[in-house]
Amino acid sequence: MEFKKDPSWWSKFLDKFNGVSYIPDMVWANPDVNFSTDACKTRAGGWSDKEFYSCQFPEFVLKFCPHINQLELWAILIGLKIWQKKFVDRKIQVFCDNSASVTVINTGRSKDTLMLRILREMALVAVQNNFEIRAVHLPGVSNRRADILSRNAGSMNLEAQMGPEWCRIDIPDSMFVLRDYW
C-alpha cells in the first residue's frame, strides 16, 4: 500500500511548484557537485567540497533497529539537507559504498517501507531546490574519507585528520526527522 503515499507526496510538492519544469538530459556525463557519505550501525558521516559532518544516529532512529541499507540512505539524506542550498539548479553525484542505497536512489524504487520514506524525503528536497541526484557505487576501500567520518566516535582529533581547511558541520537530531504526512 506504499504506492498510495505517492499522491500525498505529489500534493505537498504541487503546493510549492513554481510551474517551471524541464526535461533532464538522458546521458548524465558531468555532475556539477560531488559528495560522499557513509554509515555504520551507530554513526553517519559525509563530506562535500571542504565541509564535513560526523554524527551519531539519534536514539529515535536506532530504536527501530534499522539495517545498514536504511542507515546508508539516511546518511545521504542528511548530506542533501545540509548542502541543499549549494545544490540549487545543479547535477549532484553522491558516492556511496552501499549498492542497495545506490540502486534505490537511481531507480526510485524499493520494497522497504523505511527506505521509501527516506527516498520521498530526498525527492522533496531535490525538487524544492531544483537539483538532480545520481548515486555511484564506490567500494568501501575507496570511500575512505566518508568511512573515517562515520566510524570516528566523535573524536576531537577528527578536525586534525581532515585538515585545517575543512569545516565541520554539527547535525541536530531534528535533521533526522522524516515528514509524517505521506
Pair 104, 73: CB distance under 8 Å: yes
Record the pTM. 0.85
State the virtual CA torsion across 132, 134, 140, 142 in degrees, nearest 10: -80
Q: What is the helix (H) or strand (E) element at residue 125, kind and residue range?
A: helix 113-128
Residue 65 — very low, low, confident or very high, per pLDDT cuts 50/70/90?
confident
Can you read off the three cell numbers belonging to residue 147?
Answer: 568511512
Which domains can be identified in the chain, with CATH numbers?
Answer: 31-173 (3.30.420.10)
Write the pLDDT tens digit of every residue in 118-139: 999 999 999 889 999 999 999 8
